[in-house]
Amino acid sequence: MDLKSKPFYLNKEETEWVQNTLSGMSLSDKIKQLFIDMAAPVSDEIIKKIVRERKIGGLRYMNKDGASISKLIASYQSASEIPLIVAANTEAGGNGACADGTEIGNETKIAATGDVRYAGALGEVSAKEAKAIGCNTLFAPIVDIHRNFRNPIIATRTFGGNEKKVAEYSKAYLKAAHKEGVACVCKHFPGDGIDERDQHLSNSVNSLSCGEWDKTFGYVYKEMIDAGVDGIMVGHILLPAYERKFNPGLEGKACMPATLSKYLLQDLLRKQLGFNGLIVTDASHMVGMTGRMPRRDIVPTAIAAGCDMFLFYNEYEEDFEYVKEGIDRGILSVERLDEAVTRILAFKAHLKLNRPKTAGDLSVIGCEKHKAVAEEVSHKAVTLVKSNQTGVLPLTPQKYKRILIVPHNSSNPFNTYTTGKKTKYYEIVKAELESRGFEVEIYTPVLEQLARADEEKIKEIMGRLYTSKSAIKTFTEKYDLIIQMANIPGNGVVQRIDFALTKGSIDMPWYVHELPVIFVSVNSPFHLIDVPQVQTYINCYDANVHTMKALCKKLTGEEKFTGVSPVDAFCGSEDTKW
């Protein structure tokens, strides 16, 4: 461990601060530095009590407005004897640092612009707005490579499926953040995007061979390490090929996720790839980690394997005791603990946290300049993936006066709660098209009709679906064109359209040969697999107001479609192209 080399580059004064601070710490103090706490808004007195008792090494926080979070962070820092690493998930912009921050766009949307400058803009805005509230570390960029359309975790959270592009765009983000004096912790080593499972809920496996991994994920991580990435977040992801390379006799059940594997952290990441920076676990309550062994073993094993910090604890006092017991039981050595704490302190010295800080400029949060970048990205990114219907685009009131919008929303209640209060994406499109002379109706999905209906009405609706079908002409004579719109973000184990009704309702686009149909995904870039019969398909990557406005300009021919999909929107299937 060389504190004077990449990525820390500590000078003599900073190195001495690390060494003197470490030498003055008790065993208990060292253990406490391993943890990154999740903070909620509380009084200054409670914060002082928390910091005095827990002496945590780092902080994450509930996403509130910038002014509130700035005050919260300042209170934590002033109460802490050793300055805190304060991190935020700025994967899509400053909105990951605070609620009123600027959302520039998820990584897939950024990559769809085809312009690496926007990856730099994403890093710049993220760093500036995070720095303004006192945040010094970004848990970004995501450097995963998307190779499986069924993966719901990084569906729009990656720069794409090409390792060269992922590396190029990730380095642009890193360079911009570093220019603002903010550290980056890229994620999720050894790489998500191969499996289709969610590490929050189960095991996840990167099944590539060593050679395949070297050419893809290994290439990206080496590029980031050489570019000076400050830290790496380790995912609860297995990489059996490399574990067996370093331990040929390893049995299948003995394979561990990277967070618990010394072969992946010490042999692969530290020695083979040459990473000298901070290693942080992904959230330590995820089943991909907790499903491997008892928690009293997990906690010391993670540090012994090579992790330097835990992202969150299950219960603070209990996890603290587990580390202490792990030392007594011989799972974790004091030497390895000292190494982890040295890197934590070096990371802080590298960020100049041992020096006094001035208050940030909150005026940059959500400023017009940053909003303009976000809007520009939307107009560049919207992607016409499939266009097999001659003459449908551009839309004009003369050709398609009467339009029906059929929305598809997530069946996951969590998504409903988090997005339910926002302006509906289809209402924005309706208003935009009506302002251009179209007549637009919003269809109420049958499941929503049923949810609002009494028992008699339910019988009537179900009767129409299963017995008394309407003639097709009653449908085709009423509308000139259908726009199907899906807003189904990744959360859980799938990011697919759940067609609950298969008996001919308007919910499902079975009528592509009866009327022109345009399908618009406002979130997942992989819905074409569920509607291969659709002949015009568009990806927007999010449901923001400026994105929907950009979509309407492109639908009506006021702007050209310029976005290029950075992932395989055809989902590896031939029929989706027909």
- Which segments of 441-486 does DSSP mark as H helices, in order? 446-452, 455-466, 472-476
Nearest residue to 15 via CA among 345, 353, 351: 345
Backbone φ, ψ for residue 333 (5° rounding):
-90, 155
Q: Give, to the nearest 10 degrees, the angle between helix 334-350 and helix 12-23.
A: 140
Give CA separation, 328 vs 322, 331, 508, in Å.
Answer: 10, 8, 61
| Cβ count within 10 A of residue 97 | 31
* 338 part of the active site: no
Distance between CA atoms of residues 448 and 481, nearest Å: 22
Q: How far apart are CA 202 and CA 399, in angstroms?
A: 50
Long-range contacts of residues 445-451, Cβ cutoff 8 Å, at least 24 apart:
445/406, 445/407, 445/408, 445/409, 445/507, 446/500, 446/501, 446/505, 446/507, 447/500, 447/501, 447/507
Pair 396, 432: CB distance under 8 Å: no
For residue 485, the cross-strand partners are 407, 520
- Identify each DSSP E strand in 41-118 by its residue range: 58-61, 85-88
Q: Is 414 helix (H, G, I), strand (E, B) or coil?
A: helix
Tokens describing residue 242: 């490399």
- Taking only Cα atoms into account, the Rg of the chain, rounded to an integer number of angstroms, comes to 26
Measured CA to CA, the distance from residue 541 to residue 156 in angstroms comes to 7
**Do 101 and 72 meet the contact criterion of CB atoms below 8 Å apart?**
no
Helix, strand or coil for residue 435? coil
Cα four-point dihedral sign 489, 491, 494, 497: negative
Q: Which of 131, 157, 128, 130 is nearest to 144 (CA)?
A: 157
Could you give the CA distance from residue 264 to residue 241 in angstroms, rounded to a whole number?
A: 10
Catalytic residue from among 37, 282, 308, 542: 282
**The two structure tokens encoding residue 32:** 């406490």
What's the chain's length in residues? 578
Tokens of 36: 């990154």
Paired with 283 in beta bridges are: 311
Distances (CA, A) of 339 to 1, 19, 307, 324, 464: 8, 11, 10, 16, 69
The H or E element containing residue 37 is strand 35-39
Active site residues: 282
